[in-house]
Chain A
């Protein structure tokens, strides 16, 4: 397998252009029909009276048959690169394989047919999944309890910080600052700003870790605490995490954990055991729920004894053979409608039942092996800004390629020509021209080597034929989309 690269065109028989759906319109056509003799359109209009408005005047939904609709969307789907085709080595995204048994389970009638407001005794199957997920996630990360309500990582961050804000209110304290490392994901300071806290950016040291002495200097009774990602966005374990937590706790502050990188720690380290007070999980990262092209996700939050009473509602409990809603009186309350993104919970639940207790550590060990193998293969071709150990992801930079005028963006676009989705580019911000690579544990030796070989080939091309890389991609239908035009002349719908 070594050194073999495939061309990424010419393998597919044919791919067709597909214009916007309205191009297929046929007057009065549609793709749904009902045979219901009881329906009387005229009577319905009379009931609505002068409220009724004929939306034939303005509604511009498509007018296509089922086959037209199917062809339209099937053709569009063919224009999407996806995980089931090839790797997405995106840092901190944990784009691992989405098991199909999860998809089967999520579509079971006893789950899909549940209306959220039905009496609790009829929701037992669903409430059981929620209760077990609360318990298992708490066990995995070392927390007292977990709320499944948040619908995304950033939503979980909101919930966690809201819990911290409420804890302060209950104490009668007012604090105005919060620490965020310079390597943090942008949602961290964005969420903190919502609570009116001034963000103090703590720089990382030359080892890529949070500067602990600066944390010590900064922490005081006016500081809410710190938001910490561990391992951090460089893939480096914050080994002084316990010290940082102690410094923060000693001044009455809280530690927020961004759990995006949990894939490195399953069965090995529990954030709740090393000082984290509240942490969001990403079920759509660590726990295989599909990314769906951008969402939905689930940013469940787990909490320590210090903050568990404030967890968002609803929480599920179990007693005398019954599952029921059992909210904390001190809860911050609801952060969305109904329960949670239940469809995702079923998938994560089945995933945990599949890998089981022993699977946890296997996942993280393999994730770390894979990332380090890539690091080992690539370190002679790409600049490695931080020499110390990394876990499940590695951050390289375009420094050496810049000598030939080739940037991270160019490298990413050329990778597309080799059928590999580019890694995360230009993040974390602490590394100039960053390429953040996380293969995950589900990449096989075969695909790992392919990934490495593609990256190596592009590195060599950058030296030997830079314009080839700078003008990439060459094999895609569209190339170098004009993002400036999109922002300057925004066109968000077909009609405006």
Chain B
């Protein structure tokens, strides 16, 4: 078989060199009772020619123009990044446990740590994690390791998948989640409720979480949130699903967050049905030795040349075993490489401009929607999401069906996650949506509001 790189004759030769005549002799340590006797039901082998032919019609782009963002926003990645990652030296190495032969990977990840920490306004970052949801979980666990407290304050206008993930993890700990509700109209968190929860659980608050911008794409009043939290010395965590939204506001670390996590989705490759993406984890110097996951550090070799190496492994499972900071053994290395390349491509100027472009696109959509008669909120700080209220789910369903017939997925029905938000549609417009895309969408909105 072509992957085994060895012909049958050579296999016989190998066996004979070991004084064996049959490969079965090498499996004699397996009791006969354990050996599989029946057929495993997977298809027979395919040659490459047949495989390519069968998958041929998968090479056309999706026939639908998509306007769903909701934490997984498609962004522009230049071609050179995609082609750079085809280099075998990026995707076929192992983890850089032998630093002398992995300096390229280690240095690129050091640059990733540098850029992600800088983006989040924090001094330190690790070498990446699985995704934003698990990064948030690790942030909460870090807070608990530090202060040993148990009440976790989380708004339910963070990404619903993130909240569910936190719940799965925390169920088996003695940590308790208290939800901060959001206002149905304004979509921002109820600060009064936050204050009440803090008063109620004063001595036992582990941390308070805020998504920036929130799931509805709106920037919350971070200053008030931090003021309320820091009055009682509460550990605060920020979470971000579209990192470009951070290019136009004050850096989160400077605003007082103890840990800032994010997902690099949209910037580390095509969406690919949501994975793999990359979790980003950044924090202050206080928590250096509490960082989960792998970390790359700069150092020198025996001749004083600058070099890079995996470091602070005494936190990790292969040394501390049951006393490790986390069971995490890995990072999403290839996606982190993709992200550092993409952020390098945008550069300082380009990334700030990208943020403004997204705001501008959403503004264009909002203006057009208003001009055809939709009532879109005007006193909110939005990024690239727009919520359109159809009043009831039936009207929204009709509109959605018309859009699908025109091969447009017009946005996310918020009832998917929030039963109390029936009839509302969330539309994302990033730099990837052209004038024509928006105009086609507006046409369908127009027909809807005119009763068709």
CB-CB under 8 A from B115, the residues of chain A are 60-61
The answer to whether A147 has its CB under 8 Å from any CB of chain B is no
CB-CB under 8 A from A340, the residues of chain B are 274-275
Docked-complex contact B41 and A139, CB < 8 angstroms? yes
Q: Which of A32, A98, A341 contacts B350 (CB 8 A)?
A: A32
Q: Mark A427-454, 1 if CB is under 8 A from B, else 0.
A: 1000000000000011111011000000
Stretch at the interface among B10-18, B182-190, B203-211, B388-396: B10-18
Q: A115-B273, A336-B275, A492-B126 are in contact. List 7 more A-B contacts (CB 8 A).
A: A59-B118, A76-B103, A79-B107, A153-B330, A269-B35, A357-B45, A481-B307
Tell me the chain B residues, 303-332 only, with Cβ under 8 Å from chain A.
303, 305, 307-309, 311-314, 316-324, 326-332
Q: List 8 tightest A-B contacts by C-beta distance, closest first.
A: A338-B274, A356-B45, A292-B334, A116-B274, A30-B347, A294-B333, A112-B270, A444-B5
CB-CB under 8 A from B105, the residues of chain A are 76, 80, 293-294
Our count of residue pairs bridging A and B at CB distance below 8 angstroms stands at 638
The answer to whether A352 has its CB under 8 Å from any CB of chain B is yes
Docked-complex contact B302 and A479, CB < 8 angstroms? yes
Q: How far apart are the CA atoms of A194 and B58 in the complex, in Å?
A: 42
CB-CB under 8 A from A152, the residues of chain B are 130, 328-330
Docked-complex contact A76 and B108, CB < 8 angstroms? yes
Q: Which of A114, A136, A422, A447 contacts B62 (CB 8 A)?
A: A114
Q: How far apart are the CA atoms of A325 and B86 in the complex, in Å?
A: 33
Query: B292: shortest Cβ distance to chain A, in Å?
Result: 11
Stretch at the interface among A119-127, A395-403, A457-465: A119-127
Q: Which of B60, B126, B130, B324 contacts A109 (CB 8 A)?
A: B60
The answer to whether A140 has its CB under 8 Å from any CB of chain B is yes
CB-CB under 8 A from B41, the residues of chain A are 135, 139
Docked-complex contact B273 and A126, CB < 8 angstroms? yes
Stretch at the interface among B90-98, B194-202, B369-377: B90-98
Query: B256: shortest Cβ distance to chain A, in Å?
Result: 15
Docked-complex contact A343 and B272, CB < 8 angstroms? yes
CB-CB under 8 A from B42, the residues of chain A are 136, 139-140, 352, 356-357, 360
Stretch at the interface among B230-238, B352-360, B440-448: B352-360
Q: A118-B64, A477-B103 are in contact. Are A353 and B80 (CB under 8 A)?
A: no
Docked-complex contact A115 and B1, CB < 8 angstroms? no
CB-CB under 8 A from A39, the residues of chain B are 356-357, 360
CB-CB under 8 A from B55, the residues of chain A are 105, 108
Docked-complex contact A442 and B298, CB < 8 angstroms? no
Tell me the chain A residues, 74-89 only, with Cβ under 8 Å from chain B.
74-85, 88
Q: How far apart are the CA atoms of A88 and B102 in the complex, in Å?
A: 13
Would you give 13 A-B contacts (Cβ < 8 Å), ordered by A?
Answer: A20-B107, A44-B360, A51-B219, A93-B94, A114-B62, A136-B42, A154-B317, A269-B36, A291-B333, A343-B269, A444-B6, A481-B300, A493-B113
The answer to whether B119 has its CB under 8 Å from any CB of chain A is yes
Docked-complex contact B250 and A32, CB < 8 angstroms? no
Docked-complex contact B322 and A193, CB < 8 angstroms? yes
Q: Chain A residue with minimal CB distance to B62?
A: A113
CB-CB under 8 A from A18, the residues of chain B are 107
Q: Mark B334-364, 1 if CB is under 8 A from A, else 0.
A: 1101000101111111111110110111011
CB-CB under 8 A from A413, the residues of chain B are 100
Tally of B interface residues using CB under 8 Å? 189
The answer to whether A339 has its CB under 8 Å from any CB of chain B is yes
Q: How far apart are the CA atoms of A63 and B348 in the complex, in Å?
A: 6
CB-CB under 8 A from B167, the residues of chain A are 333
Q: How far apart are the CA atoms of A153 and B360 in the complex, in Å?
A: 42
Query: A169: shortest Cβ distance to chain B, in Å?
Result: 9
CB-CB under 8 A from A388, the residues of chain B are 29
Docked-complex contact A30 and B348, CB < 8 angstroms? yes
Q: A76-B108, A333-B168 are in contact. Are A53 and B248 (CB under 8 A)?
A: yes
Query: B300: shortest Cβ distance to chain A, in Å?
Result: 6
Q: How far apart are the CA atoms of A104 and B98 in the complex, in Å?
A: 30
Q: How far apart are the CA atoms of A334 and B162 in the complex, in Å?
A: 9
Stretch at the interface among A210-218, A248-256, A300-308, A361-369: A361-369
The answer to whether A28 has its CB under 8 Å from any CB of chain B is yes
Docked-complex contact B70 and A117, CB < 8 angstroms? yes
The answer to whether B74 has its CB under 8 Å from any CB of chain A is yes
Q: Chain B residue with minimal CB distance to A104?
A: B52
The answer to whether B296 has its CB under 8 Å from any CB of chain A is yes
Query: B158: shortest Cβ distance to chain A, in Å?
Result: 11
CB-CB under 8 A from A485, the residues of chain B are 299-300
Q: How far apart are the CA atoms of A422 and B96 in the complex, in Å?
A: 12
Q: Mark B53-85, 1 if CB is under 8 A from A, else 0.
A: 001011111101010101110101010100010
